Amino acid sequence: MSPELINLIVQATGETLYMVGIAALLGTVFGLPLGVFLATSRKGELFAAPAINRVFGIVVNATRSTPFIILVVAIIPFTRLVAGTSIGSTAAIVPLTIASAPFIARLVEAAIREVDGGLIETASSFGASPIQIVLKVLIPEALPGLLLALTLAVVSLLGYSAMVGAVGGGGLGDLGIRYGYQRFMPEMMLAVVVVLIALVQLVQSAGDYLARRVNRRLRQH
Amino acid sequence: MNAHQSLAIGQPIAPPEAISPAATDADAMVRFEAIAKTYPAYRGKPGVNALENIDFAIPRGSITGVIGRSGAGKSSLVRLINGLEKPTAGRVIVDHRDISALAGRELRLAQRSIGMIFQHFNLLSSRTAADNIALPLEIAGWTKADIKARVAELLALVGIADKHDRYPSELSGGQKQRVGIARALATRPSVLLSDEATSALDPQTTRAILDLLANINRELGVTIVLITHEMSVVRQLAKEVVVLDAGRVVESGHVADIFTHPKHPITQSFLAEAIGDSLPVSLASRIMAEPAAGGLAVIRVQVRGAGAGDTLVARLARELGLDVSLLSARIDEIGGQHVGSLTLGIPLGISGGEDAVTRTLAWLSQYQFPAERLGYVA
């Protein structure tokens, strides 16, 4: 493989990491509070607001049921509003974030609901405010589940990022389509696939390792 | 040196004032006034009247047991004290404040003076023993240095200073409950609520935890409210008792009075569980309805009161000149009072005459020992 091609792969990997990294970060910034809210706002819960819970639930489901490639093109005007342009890696972060936040929210909700309800009662019994309960009880206790959720979200984002080539987002997926498929360069396709597999493995292993480390002190050895 | 052990050397305390059924004590720690608690119908489940007409006071500094079967309303009652639940009607006064009227920040501040321990300990698995104890202090906004000092003090108080850095998964049930107790006491509360705190522990550990609670009550003067369905817990620890059944208080007062003269069937059943009212099988199988010449009449004597049964058999034998046999006996101590029964064999005459039996029953009745004739053995 020529140095030019290798250079292309390195550049595309950089773009992918950039898009996925920022989107995962922003997805967590929006998804974590949303997930905590979804997990604590049903009737009789900490932030009981059943009506808002239902509305958010519907929005989350709607976003999650829209195919990502449709989402990317459907929100182009919004992307332009936020990023100033609808083309390029930075612009691609907008749909990636919008797709990952509800996904992360659902995973966070599930992880938070796993926490023993008795702990909420306990913290309430010594006068913890709802915010303190979230920060000092729910999130620390759900941490292993939250780390695995985030890992899963990053892996999904790596997959999604292959589709943003449609709006000139660049990245490994785009490289694979343009060089590997359209220019019939099977070695390029193979290289892209190998790099993606390596990235997914790396992310998954790191996530597993962290979750296990946090978990080890929680459960019986 | 173990602070827990040093606590064990304490002075016996004078019995606290009796629970006033009218709930008028000026110095009650907790006072329930005309409390009713109803859970509304929800998703097809009918509404429940969990508590009705609750009116009693818990004396300051006492250890008060609240005993009842599951579903009697014990848990609702204890959650009214720390404001986790609100009464449908009535007021709950804790330390002269109407906790049932507080909400938000005011309620949270009041809750810091009420500690609670739980059946399943409810420790955070992500925090060490020390950090679990620190949690209420962090929430109350203590400084790091103050928290550190207070946590060390508390770990020593509950006798697990060496478990400072252990996670709950590395602790035994008894040690977890000690952490729970330390956490509940962290903010120096005036009331400690115990919700079936020993129900998940083995008898030996239960005893140790109850001893610890007794020491805490004695040393720190913390009022303890024990929710339990186990008679043994009330018997070992409480001085006052409230018997709940179907959401109502059926009896309340000194443990000794209530259990020496139980009136309500539910109280009697708790007592029977504790002291065992049945005869040994070998004796029960030999009992006949008709007297046999040269045999024994079987008489059961109820023993209630301080030192009541101690000399009964000896006096009976001496004063009536009878060869009294002791067939079975069970005497326990509840709240410093003896509670139990003696099963005596009174010799019948050569021809089966019951003269001695009549004299014995008269003598027992004279000294106000309730007695009944169960039958005869050969």
Q: What is the pTM of this model?
A: 0.81
Report the pLDDT value the prediction gives residue B23, as an integer from 0 to 100: 44
Nearest to B136 among A118, A126, A220 (CB): A126
| Subunit contact B138:A136, Cβ cutoff 8 A | yes
> Average pLDDT of B193-200?
93
Residue B240 structure tokens: 């006052």
CB-CB neighbours of B130 under 10 Å: 21
Report the pLDDT value the prediction gives residue B20, as an integer from 0 to 100: 45
pLDDT tens track for A199-217? 999 999 999 999 888 876 6
> Average pLDDT of B182-200?
94
> Average pLDDT of A161-181?
85
The CATH number of the domain covering residues in B278-377: 3.30.70.260
Q: Which residues of A touch B169 (CB under 8 A)?
A: 217-221
Is any Cβ of chain A less than 8 angstroms from the Cβ of B374? no
pLDDT-based confidence at residue B13 (cuts at 50, 70, 90):
very low
Is any Cβ of chain B less than 8 angstroms from the Cβ of A221? yes
Shortest distance between the Cα of A170 and any Cα of chain B, in A, equals 42
Nearest chain A residue to B120 by CA: give it.
Answer: A118
Report the pLDDT value the prediction gives residue A202, as an integer from 0 to 100: 94
Report the pLDDT value the prediction gives residue B17, as an integer from 0 to 100: 44
C-alpha span between A153 and A159 (Å, rounded): 10
Report the pLDDT value the prediction gives residue A136, as an integer from 0 to 100: 95
Backbone phi and psi for residue B348, each to the nearest 5 degrees, phi listed first: -90, 160
CB of A17 closer than 8 Å to CB of A9: no
Q: Which residues of B touch A219 (CB under 8 A)?
A: 125, 169
Shortest distance between the Cα of B109 and any Cα of chain A, in A, equals 6
CB-CB neighbours of B153 under 10 Å: 15
Pairing of the two strands B48-59 and B63-67: unpaired
Report the pLDDT value the prediction gives residue B2, as an integer from 0 to 100: 44
Interface test with B, best of A43, A46, A115, A126 (most B CBs within 10 A): A126
pLDDT tens track for A29-73? 999 999 999 999 998 888 989 999 999 999 999 999 999 989 998
> Average pLDDT of A124-130?
92
Q: What residue spans define the domains of chain B?
A: 28-113+189-275, 278-377
Q: How far from chain centre, in Å, is Cα A190?
A: 26
Does the pLDDT at position A5 exceed 80? yes
Lowest-confidence region among B89-98, B190-199, B216-225, B354-363: B354-363
C-alpha span between B24 and B39 (Å, rounded): 28
Angle between helices B173-185 and B203-220 (to 10 degrees): 20
Percent of residues, chain A, with pLDDT higher than 70: 97
Q: What's chain A's average pLDDT?
A: 90
pLDDT tens track for B50-63? 898 999 999 999 99
Query: Is the domain defined by B28-113+189-275 classed in CATH 3.40.50.300?
Result: yes
Does the pLDDT at position A1 exceed 60? yes
pLDDT-based confidence at residue B236 (cuts at 50, 70, 90):
confident
Does the pLDDT at position B206 exceed 70? yes
Report the pLDDT value the prediction gives residue B5, as an integer from 0 to 100: 41
Does the pLDDT at position B47 exceed 60? yes
Does the pLDDT at position B188 exceed 90? yes
Does the pLDDT at position B129 exceed 90? yes
Write A90-93 long-range contacts (CB < 8 A, 24+): A91/A167, A91/A168, A91/A169, A92/A19, A92/A161, A92/A164, A92/A167, A92/A169, A92/A170, A92/A171, A93/A19, A93/A22, A93/A23, A93/A26
- At A201, is the secondary structure helix, strand, or coil? helix
Lowest-confidence region among A135-144, B22-31, B277-286, B303-312: B22-31
pLDDT-based confidence at residue B72 (cuts at 50, 70, 90):
confident
Percent of residues, chain B, with pLDDT higher than 70: 90
Interface test with B, best of A47, A121, A122 (most B CBs within 10 A): A122
Does the pLDDT at position B262 exceed 90? no
> Average pLDDT of A187-192?
90
C-alpha span between B19 and B36 (Å, rounded): 20
C-alpha span between B280 and B118 (Å, rounded): 37
- The set of residues, in sequence order, having a beta carbon less than 8 Å from that of B285 and lying 6+ positions away, is none
Is any Cβ of chain B less than 8 angstroms from the Cβ of A118? yes
Nearest to B139 among A136, A141, A221 (CB): A136
Lowest-confidence region among A38-42, A83-87, B8-12, B183-187: B8-12
pLDDT-based confidence at residue B12 (cuts at 50, 70, 90):
very low
Interface test with A, best of B39, B75, B113, B125 (most A CBs within 10 A): B125
Stretch 128-157 of chain A: residues touching chain B, C-beta under 8 Å = 128-129, 132, 136-137, 140-141, 143
Q: What's chain B's average pLDDT?
A: 85
Report the pLDDT value the prediction gives residue A28, as an integer from 0 to 100: 96
More confident call, B259 vs A90: A90
| Subunit contact A123:B135, Cβ cutoff 8 A | yes
Nearest by Cα to B226 from A73, B285, A173, B217: B217
Residue B91 structure tokens: 């007021």
Nearest by Cα to B304 from B279, B358, B280, B268: B268
